[in-house]
Structure 1
Amino acid sequence: MPDSPSDAARPLRSNLPPTSALGIARRAQWRSLGIPASDLLKPKVAIVNTSSELAACYAHLDDIADALKVELRALGVLPFEIRTVAPSDFVTSAGRAGRYILPSRDLIVNDIEAAVEGAKLDAMICLSSCDKTTPAHLMAAGRLDIPTVIIPCGYQHSGLAEGREADVEEVFLLAAKAAVTGESTEHLEELADDAILGPGVCAGLATANSMHMVAEAIGMAVPGSSPVRANSEPMWDAMRRSAVALVDLIARDIRPRAIITDGSIRNAVRTMLAVGGSINTIKHLQAIAVESGLDIDVWETFRMLGRDTPLLASVRPNGPWLVEQFEDVGGGATIQRELLPLLDGDQLTVTGKTVAENAADARAADGEIIRSLENPFGTDPAIAVLRGTLAPGGAVAKRPVPDPGPRRFTGPARIFANREEAIAGISNGRLRSGDVAVIRGIGVSGAPGMGLTSAFIFALHAKGLAQSVALVTDGQFSGLVNQGMTVGEVSPEAAAPRAPLGLVQDDDIIDIDLATGSLDLLVDPAELAGRPSYQPPADRDTGGGMLDQYEQLVQPLSCGAVLCARPAGPCQSDASDEASALSLTETA
């Protein structure tokens, strides 16, 4: 390895001809910032800081960025901090029913491209925090294909970890319950004040911590970095190791597409199945694959690998263990060690070592909080991908393992246009035990931006209907959800031409079978063919800005809901979605 990246023979793309118009103007800008002339030829690294004062998720990132600059300068590179939009599911979901949340993921990717590619920087190191930042950083890495390391920046210290009554997720659940049952809410403010005791993402294995583990499992974060307490010594150690890893990647010109491969995507899928991670990881991994130019169907990969991937951890909300306890017995690194017989151990990681080499340094499972392949918590998949005449492109269900509920649910459809209408259906008696609530028209294009249905699921739970009423939706729900027969992200979504979900009517029979992985509409194909096409609500509020642009550009979930189509891979155009939907409805 060269003494420093600047000693490498490989020319750096950031070093423009020094007396060219752009080169001399760049020198003037950077010298005015106090950058020594001797640093101008060094590798230039973007510190991608997705920071914001809107949420606790991001409260510590500026301090990490400052410390990272010191580390990188000492290692012989020139860091530049850049900023992006910073969404929080609990804060920026207030406007337009949460429909800005998923589109913000791709806005982050474009933010990064504009800054890093526009300036022709040589590498980037990304401070990943809340739900959408980690997938966005991995997508940008795959798209730009310059040396990159992801730093999972840790989870917040919660009230539950201190023996108090609630964390932020529990407060949210209690508030949703009170809204339906009419229970007193006087105690909620007191609980909320004690729920979050420090910066970082939500405690528990919801989407943020799941995606942090994905970054490590896929090889783009240093081993032992997820999950990790925010601002703890292990987090700072991971930051320092990440800086060293990035400098080595620059010197050796190892780029993300050498690390993000079909094999590493499968490793990440195995990891999520083994810990019962968030269902949102499916669409994010598909988007990462697309942006990395891969030809892999992540939905089908979850479906196939779920058949023989045992559950090795049972962390909240799946089970009783706190994420702190999970971290303390080895966390993601130990999961990799125990899963190694089922992983592609030859996959390269940002350390320059393989998955197998990194796993050899991890501690063994304790047998209680993390179990071995021979003694798992369960063998049924916690994340079940379904296909059938109602979901030819796929759908996803999240279940606890072991699963106390029924494996099959068959019942008449009750159609709702949004979650509020469905919640009202619980109270006014339109939705009854044995029904399948269908909340449609809230997919990536139909919403646009993908509507959230978690509040409806929590309302079912509050009314004691979680096991007797099923949900089928083209929207999404929180990584917290793992109760009842809940099926989300149905593809093609109702807004796609002649999609089966758009043709469903009240009282149609829907059959959900987790054992066979099927989701079917039990209606004669000839009758379906004669039904009118789905029409979106006339009063749909998009604001005339970003969401309208998103509706025009977003690709189907089969393509990860990215904003840029790729000619290869499982991505489908609207036309092929229509053809697939028509074919299945005609042959049902």
Structure 2
Amino acid sequence: MGLSEEDFEKPKIAIVNSSSKLSVCYQHLDGVSQVVQDAIRAAGGVPLEIRTVAPSDFVTSAGKQGRYLMPTRDLLVNDVEVQVEGAELDGMVLLASCDKTTPAQLMAAGRLNVPSIIVTCGFQLGSQCGDHHVDIEEVYKSVGAYKAKKITLQNLTDMTCHAIKGPGVCAGLATANSMHCMAEALGMALPGNAPIRAGSDALNGYAESAGRAIMELVEKDIRPRQIMTAGAFRNAVRVAVAIGASVNVLRHLLATAIESECDVDIIGEFEAAASLVGQITKVRPNGPDRIEDFAAAGGCAGAMKQLQAILDTSVMTVSGLTLGENLAARPAPDESVIAPMSQPFRPEPGLVIIRGNLAPDGAVVKLSAVPASVRRFIGPAAVFEDENDAINAIEQSKIAPGSVVVLRMLGPKGGPGTVFAASFMAALVGAGLGETVAVVTDGELSGLNSGITIGQVMPEAAEGGPLAAVHDGDTIVIDLNRKSIALELTDAELAQRIAALPPLPPTHEKGWLAMYRQLVQPLSKGAVLGER
């Protein structure tokens, strides 16, 4: 193994690498890993690379309608636990890439509580296709446009040839880049690391710095639970709300707080943050700016600098300094991209929690991606329990403008494994129905989704939540100004329907998905595995 006798007396540091040849998200991670290893060795440590499962939302979602995505997050957490705790390693540098790796690595850091640092490994670039810029978001939306016969297969094919020009995660403020920002907002990534272009000299510089920083964290015995405090989670929530992060950050921050045994009400913090700040960025899909514009303007650190007045700047970070000390060293952001709190681009928050008899434990809305003209929506329910059936209904023009599409039994237990309902939403927008049809679901959405979308309905239908009691034609009222969602039934009628629901049938799945159904906790508890 190339170890000397002296090496056994040095700190042993895990480089947690989810490298995989399955997806462009991870193509560059081996190079990043080597930079980190060299820096650790130069700083007096022993780097030991470990490999984990590597879920990719665009690749792993191909089978079983994406049911493996959420379960793979928690599989990765346990993968890290077995290798790092089992070997009694002294610290971790975790290389974060696609959607599920960052939350899984944060969860693992919180669970194991050994000195840890996240390196966010960056976003991919798009390029010009004809007379306009194309990235993966454009391809995503255009699948729906193709199904609606608004573009040709050749148009779509041409776009796919230009949409990805380099390694890294999806362009835009989707879940991957949102969670990269959350890692930095929590203090678990070095200041300025998110977002960053994959394959860049800047990323290599952060990788080298992380290799040195982890040695200092080990020497000073600074552990994740000293960093991921209630104040840090509150900061991350406020950043998420202000920048209009992915709807999925809610479940992932919940899970990270639970694994860190941090006593903080994440859902309550989202509700409170909505009255504190408007939307200070307009990064796609929330507006015209690209993720590289956000990075150049100051990124997450720039947003936090603008939000200092409502952040706890005393919290510790992996730099070994407080957040306030980190921000003092950062340049002022470009306010044409990252607005000051006093002059937000939109007065509304980017993310909001709504409640009502259809979502008593809450549901999440990416308000920044909802058309500004739509703040109240009333319509008849069109219920589907299979995403493919709903997509076919779009193709057959069976979903009328003014409808509220209910996609249910797609949550962690119902799947089992959360169904990736994002494809339906993309198809709806591509078909030109994004502003006239609302979607309510307990399935998983993409941070790239836009439209009138109510996601992560809690409790999910498979838990006997009210979503399971909706019938075709029922009237659903969505009021985003009042942050409410209601099924127009009396309390007695709704209770009667819920009482009459049949028990959840056994799953036909085997293996990991069957085990996941047995272990997964409610979405309101972050869909972690096992009782906490």
* Change over 3 Å in CA distance of 1:261–1:225 after alignment to 2: same
SS at match of 2:103: helix
Return the TM-score normalized by structure 1.
0.87
Q: Is the 8 A contact 1:380 1:402 kept in 2?
A: no
* CA-to-aligned-CA distance 1:269-314 (integer Å, 9 cap, x gap): 1111111111111100000000000122212211210121121111
5 Å-filtered alignment, 1:434-453, equals 434-453=402-421
Query: Closer, same or farther in 2 for the Cα pair 1:526/1:310, shift >3 Å?
Result: closer
CA distance in 2, matches of 1:294, 1:277: 22
Q: Name the SS of the counterpart of 1:213 in structure 2.
A: helix
Deviations 1:116-163 (A, max 9, x none): 011011110001011100001100000000000000011112225998
Q: CA deviation at 1:541?
A: 5.3
Contact 1:449/1:550, CA 8 A, preserved across alignment: yes
8 Å contact 1:381–1:401 — kept in the other structure? Answer: no
Say which one has the larger Rg: 1
CA distance in 1, matches of 2:171, 2:130: 12
In structure 2, the residue corresponding to 1:376 is in which secondary structure? Answer: coil
Deviation at 1:182, TM superposition (A): 6.6
Residue in 2 aligned with 1:388? Answer: 356
Equivalence for 1:546: 512
The answer to whether 1:158 aligns with 2:126 is yes
Contact 2:19 2:30 in 1 (8 A): yes
- Aligned counterpart, 1:22: none
Paired residue for 1:4? Answer: none
- In 2, Cα distance between the equivalents of 1:403 and 1:344? 32
Which residue in the other structure is 1:488 paired with? 455
Larger RCO, structures 1/2 (Cα 8 Å, 6+ apart): 2
The match for 2:52 is: 84
Kindly tell me: are residues 245 and 424 of structure 1, through their superposed partners in 2, closer, same or farther at Cα, counting changes over 3 Å?
same
Contact 2:17/2:50 (<8 A) preserved: yes
Q: SS at the partner of 2:226?
A: helix
Residue number in structure 2 paired with 1:15: none
Name the Cα RMSD after superposition: 1.9
Q: Which residue matches 2:166? A: 198
Query: How do 1:382-421 and structure 2 match up within 5 A?
Result: 382-400=350-368, 403-421=371-389
> Quick one: which of 61, 74, 84 aligns to 2:42?
74
**Structure 1 residue 534 displacement after superposition:** 3.8
- Matching residue of 1:110: 78
Structure 1 partner of 2:314:
346
1:265 aligns to 2:233 (yes or no)? yes
Q: Percent identity?
A: 46
Partner of 1:219: 187
Give the equivalent residue in structure 2 for 1:366: 334
Q: CA deviation at 1:169?
A: 2.1
Cα deviation, residue 69, structure 1: 1.1
Deviations 1:166-202 (A, max 9, x none): 1122112212321233742013223212211111111
Question: In the alignment, what sits opposite 1:464?
Answer: 432
For 2:42 and 2:399, the matched residues in 1 are separated by 63
User: After superposition, what is the alpha-carbon deviation per residue over 1:67-104, rounded to whole angstroms, capped at 9, x for unaligned?
Assistant: 21111011011110000000111111010000101111
Q: Which of 506, 509, 515 matches 2:475?
A: 509
Q: Go from structure 1 to structure 2 and tell me whether the alpha carbon gap of 1:463 and 1:60 turns closer, same or farther (over 3 Å shift).
A: closer
Structure 1 counterpart of 2:443: 475
Residue 281 (str. 1) matches residue 249 (str. 2): yes
Provide, for residues 520-557 of structure 1, a one-character-per-residue CA deviation record: whole Å limited to 9, x for no partner: 12212222333364458979653x11111100000001
The one-letter amino acid paired with 2:91 is A
Residue 236 of structure 1: CA displacement?
A: 1.4
Conservation of the 8 A alpha-carbon contact between 1:46 and 1:123: yes
Relative to the length of structure 2, the TM-score reads 0.96
Matches within 5 A, 1:36-75: 36-75=4-43
Whole-Å separation in 2 of the counterparts to 1:519 and 1:565:
29
Deviations 1:200-225 (A, max 9, x none): 11111111111111111100000010
Number of aligned residues:
531
Q: Which one-letter code corresponds to 1:68 in the other structure?
A: V
Q: Which moved more, 1:430-439 or 1:245-254?
A: 430-439
Query: Closer, same or farther in 2 for the Cα pair 1:161/1:139, shift >3 Å?
Result: farther
Which of the numbers 329, 343, 347 marks the counterpart of 1:379? Answer: 347
**Residue 531 (structure 2) pairs with residue 565 (structure 1):** yes
* Cα distance in 2, alignment partners of residues 188 and 429 from structure 1: 21
The whole-number CA distance in structure 1 between the counterparts of 2:428 and 2:372 is 17
Deviation at 1:465, TM superposition (A): 2.0
Q: Is the 8 A contact 2:401 2:433 kept in 1?
A: yes
Structure 2 unmatched ranges of 5 or more? none
Secondary structure class of the residue paired with 1:45: strand
Cα distance in structure 1, aligned partners of 2:202 and 2:133 = 27
1:519 and 2:485 correspond: yes
- Say if 2:247 and 2:455, in contact at 8 Å, map to a contact too: no
Give the Cα–Cα distance (whole angstroms) in 1 for the partners of residues 469 and 83 of structure 2: 44
**Runs of at least 5 residues in structure 1 that lack an aligned partner in the other structure:** 1-32, 567-588
Instruction: Tell me the SS of whatever aligns to 1:530.
Output: helix
Distance in 2 (CA, whole Å) between partners of 1:252 and 1:60 is 31
> 305, 309, 321: which one pairs with 2:277?
309
How many Å separate the matches in 1 of 2:231 and 2:326? 16
